[in-house]
Amino acid sequence: MTDTAVHAVHSPGAFPAHPLDPASAAEYLAGRAIMAAAGLLAEPVRFAYYGLEEPPKDQLLDTPQGQPDRRLRAFLIDLGTGESADVVVSLGRREVVSVHRLDPRTDGQLPIIETDFAVVEEVVRADPEWRAALARRGLTDVTKIRTCPITAGVFGVADDDRRRMVRVLAFVQAREHDLAWAHPVDGIAAYVDLVEKKVYKIVDEFELPVPQESGDYDDPAVHGPYRTTLRPIEITQPEGPSFTLEGNLLRWQDWSLRVGFDAREGLVLHQIGLCERPVIYRASIPEMVVPYGDPRFRYWQTYFDAGEFLLGKWANSLELGCDCLGEITYLDATVTGDSGQPRVIKNAICIHEEDFGVLWKHTDIFNGSVQTRRQRRLVVSFFATVGNYDYGFYWYFYLDGTIECEIKLTGVIFTAAYPGGDYPYSAEVAPGLGAPIHQHLFSARLDMMVDGLSNAVEEIDVAGLPAGPDNPYGNAMVQRVTRLTRESQGGRQADGSRGRTWRVISTERTNRFGRPTAYTLYPEHAPALLADPSGPLYRRAGFATNHLWVTRYNPAHRYPAGDFVNQHPGGAGIPAFIAGDADIDGTDIVLWHTFGPTHFPRPEDWPVMPVARCGFMLKPTGFFGRNPTLDIPPPTGHCSPG
Ligand SMILES: [Cu+2]
């Protein structure tokens, strides 16, 4: 790559109309030209991240008609030396705004880049010690071995921690279309220095037979004859969908929001409002951590899919009729490759409207009224493939003011050899094939703005009261409301036994009962991070140790595990954000919500996993003065009255 290989486009019309619109291909090229002119892109420097540096919220809200400076942020890595920098450029001023040089041992390493995958396969296959270890297992044709690089974490081993490195597991792919995940070569890992481009250590701990049963679910011998009993389902909207999309501004019923996309976070939704009233300024899933629970050999196996691998960059191009049914509107996403050159992912974001069963219904025994209304939702989604897993990120907006985030987890579970017996840390999913237990812990960043910037959070538990003079028959139940006033108090656990929810209230606006308008976060009640507090993962994934955090808005606080997650020693992100213990009562606040399953795989999850779901809901709570959907007309057709 040379700096002249990619040319900037200087057409003013190529620049987005709104300050929160994602960076365009022309902008990436313009930013790249600014960095090249400043001497930041000398060969072999590559982009480990490149995206929009959003204007701070106050700057945007204070000048609603103005155009704040358009800025891009790039993480640059010199492949020859490992030197890493965090760079911000101004497109308007055509200059580099800041260059922050990282010390990767304390600041963390930049994310894995595409080039790293190719380097790993090449150097591992060429390594004599690794080849010898495989030969001892009877595997002599290294062209049939696939290598899976896994981010290294930090375990206090000096020779590992000083390097930019990955740990590499091996899988056998004997035929071109074999599913390699079905054939793990267990007990052997190559530790690869990505800068020196060499294997510096082989860990050869034990040998177990490579599982042999095919997992190739495309193979008729595996899936059997396709069933012929499914008749077509077709979804039609003869008058088209009920939403409009102007640029990135999406409007549907009383909802409005801006649809954005980022290489790291994927979908970013801005300025979510209902009935021209703000609800959330910005919503995204900026991190997820997938820790594995086998303490032997693979104790280091943990992925931070956003911070270490940039999950947005791996967004799929969606296909009508397969991924999405009905009247679909797609948006493309523009990300960049290692050289900073734009790459358009066609049809990355799917927008549609769908029927969602009954909204409300009643047959009145006194006045004879028989009424039903249909629920609908607006769906904004994308899918990303990160290694063996595929994740669908779905945001739903309902007629009754509910917002839902749902993650669909599918793809292929990570495998190991099953050691036999009742091995407690994995499940046998095929003969001799184990799937280690793991967690998928997502972090939603919800920059709340319920009826304005002045918000507060109340924790709501429900409780039955003990019998006593005021409760003689013991039937009393109440809500217990605890106001969270400081950041040190905002780290909270979900509690299904108390039906715990968190209510985000406006401290300025009230409803017709004189009570604060509010939106309530309904969490699931799955466990947070299970790793022991004494271990390194607990420090690195601090955000995942609680289901909720509340922080005061700070434009620099974007990523719950910190800006540079790869090989970061820990303590960054939320634990650092709350160190000042700011006041969070009646101010501009951000909710960070941890959710997701602890996955002990089932045989039915193999060889490809039916979608598992997780997520959360936000529901209006006194945001309206009554059911806001009474004006929804009855369905047309045979059930309409009269
Ligand atoms: Cu899983």
Query: Residues 511-559: pLDDT tens digits?
Result: 999 999 999 999 999 999 999 999 999 999 999 999 999 999 999 999 9
Report the alpha-carbon distance of residue 90 to residue 15 in Å, rounded: 13
281 belongs to the catalytic site: no
Asked if 263 and 312 touch (Cβ cutoff 8 Å), the reply is yes
CB-based contacts of 297, cutoff 8 Å, min separation 6: 186, 187, 189, 203, 205, 206
Which one-letter amino acid corresponds to residue 430? A
- Model pLDDT, residue 15: 60
- Whole-number Å distance, alpha carbon 74 to ligand 1 midpoint, is 31
- Angle 250-54-331 (CA atoms, 0-180°, nearest 5)? 35
Structure tokens at 161: 């921690």
Spatial CA neighbour of 436 closest among 308, 599, 319, 553: 599
- Whole-number Å distance, alpha carbon 133 to ligand 1 midpoint, is 30
List the shell of residues around ion ligand 1, using CB closer than 5 Å. 599
- Axis-axis angle for helices 114-126, 128-136 (nearest 10): 70
Asked if 54 and 24 touch (Cβ cutoff 8 Å), the reply is no
Spatial CA neighbour of 309 closest among 385, 243, 422, 226: 385
- Whole-number Å distance, alpha carbon 221 to ligand 1 midpoint, is 26
- Whole-number Å distance, alpha carbon 45 to ligand 1 midpoint, is 35
- Whole-number Å distance, alpha carbon 619 to ligand 1 midpoint, is 28
- Whole-number Å distance, alpha carbon 598 to ligand 1 midpoint, is 7
- Model pLDDT, residue 1: 39
Query: Residues 589-610: pLDDT tens digits?
Result: 999 999 999 999 999 999 999 9
Identify the bridge partners of residue 403 per DSSP, sorted by sequence position. 397, 618
Spatial CA neighbour of 279 closest among 374, 119, 397: 397
- Whole-number Å distance, alpha carbon 435 to ligand 1 midpoint, is 9
CB-based contacts of 533, cutoff 8 Å, min separation 6: 545
CB-based contacts of 534, cutoff 8 Å, min separation 6: none
- Whole-number Å distance, alpha carbon 544 to ligand 1 midpoint, is 16
Asked if 83 and 48 touch (Cβ cutoff 8 Å), the reply is no
Report the alpha-carbon distance of residue 178 to residue 174 in Å, rounded: 7
- Whole-number Å distance, alpha carbon 415 to ligand 1 midpoint, is 11
> Under DSSP, is residue 161 helix (H, G, I), strand (E, B) or coil?
helix
- Whole-number Å distance, alpha carbon 612 to ligand 1 midpoint, is 9
Asked if 578 and 549 touch (Cβ cutoff 8 Å), the reply is yes
- Model pLDDT, residue 204: 97
Q: Record the pTM.
A: 0.96
Q: Which listed residue (191, 281, 330, 389) is catalytic?
A: 389
- Model pLDDT, residue 640: 54
- Whole-number Å distance, alpha carbon 596 to ligand 1 midpoint, is 10
Q: How far is CA 194 from CA 75, 111, 162, in A?
A: 16, 12, 12
Report the alpha-carbon distance of residue 200 to residue 195 in Å, rounded: 11
- Model pLDDT, residue 65: 66
Spatial CA neighbour of 529 closest among 621, 574, 613, 595: 595
Half-sphere exposure of 180 (CA within 13 A, CB side): 16
Q: How far is CA 128 from CA 124, 144, 202, 404, in A?
A: 9, 16, 10, 52
- Model pLDDT, residue 59: 86
Report the alpha-carbon distance of residue 329 to residue 34 in Å, rounded: 35
- Model pLDDT, residue 290: 98
> Under DSSP, is residue 19 helix (H, G, I), strand (E, B) or coil?
coil
- Whole-number Å distance, alpha carbon 440 to ligand 1 midpoint, is 6
Asked if 393 and 267 touch (Cβ cutoff 8 Å), the reply is yes
Report the alpha-carbon distance of residue 83 to residue 79 in Å, rounded: 8
Is omega for the bond preceding 641 within 30 degrees of 0, making it cis? Answer: no
Report the alpha-carbon distance of residue 543 to residue 573 in Å, rounded: 7
Asked if 34 and 89 touch (Cβ cutoff 8 Å), the reply is yes
Q: What is the sign, positive or negative, of the torsion defined by CA atoms of 447, 451, 453, 458?
A: negative
* Phi and psi torsions of 210, nearest 5°: -75, 120
> End-to-end CA distance of the chain, in Å?
71
* Phi and psi torsions of 191, nearest 5°: -95, 120
> Under DSSP, is residue 604 helix (H, G, I), strand (E, B) or coil?
helix
Q: How far is CA 312 from CA 40, 377, 444, in A?
A: 25, 24, 15
Positions in the chain short of pLDDT 70: 1-16, 64-66, 637-642
Residues 413-440, buried b or exposed e (16+ Cβ, 10 A)? Answer: bbbbbbbeeeeebbbbbbebbbbbbbbb
Query: Residues 472-504: pLDDT tens digits?
Result: 999 999 999 999 999 999 999 999 999 999 999
- Model pLDDT, residue 10: 40
305 belongs to the catalytic site: yes
- Whole-number Å distance, alpha carbon 302 to ligand 1 midpoint, is 12
- Whole-number Å distance, alpha carbon 398 to ligand 1 midpoint, is 28
Report the alpha-carbon distance of residue 598 to residue 373 in Å, rounded: 37
Spatial CA neighbour of 492 closest among 578, 405, 393: 578
Structure tokens at 114: 């595409």
> Under DSSP, is residue 332 helix (H, G, I), strand (E, B) or coil?
strand
Asked if 112 and 166 touch (Cβ cutoff 8 Å), the reply is yes
Q: What share of the chain is helix, strand, coil (3-state, %, to 5)?
A: 15, 40, 45
Half-sphere exposure of 343 (CA within 13 A, CB side): 17
User: What is the number of other CB atoms lying within 10 angstroms of the CB of residue 212?
Assistant: 13
Spatial CA neighbour of 378 closest among 358, 349, 403: 403
- Whole-number Å distance, alpha carbon 376 to ligand 1 midpoint, is 30
- Whole-number Å distance, alpha carbon 295 to ligand 1 midpoint, is 17
Q: Which listed residue (116, 193, 305, 447) is catalytic?
A: 305
Q: What is the sign, positive or negative, of the torsion defined by CA atoms of 61, 331, 379, 244?
A: positive
Identify the bridge partners of residue 100 per DSSP, sorted by sequence position. 86
Report the alpha-carbon distance of residue 257 to residue 243 in Å, rounded: 11
510-515: long-range pairs with CB below 8 Å, 24+: 511/622, 511/623, 511/624, 511/625, 512/625, 513/622, 513/625, 515/622
Q: How far is CA 550 from CA 203, 265, 555, 578, in A?
A: 42, 20, 14, 9
- Whole-number Å distance, alpha carbon 151 to ligand 1 midpoint, is 17
- Model pLDDT, residue 61: 87
- Whole-number Å distance, alpha carbon 438 to ligand 1 midpoint, is 6
- Whole-number Å distance, alpha carbon 294 to ligand 1 midpoint, is 14
Asked if 347 and 330 touch (Cβ cutoff 8 Å), the reply is yes
- Whole-number Å distance, alpha carbon 238 to ligand 1 midpoint, is 39
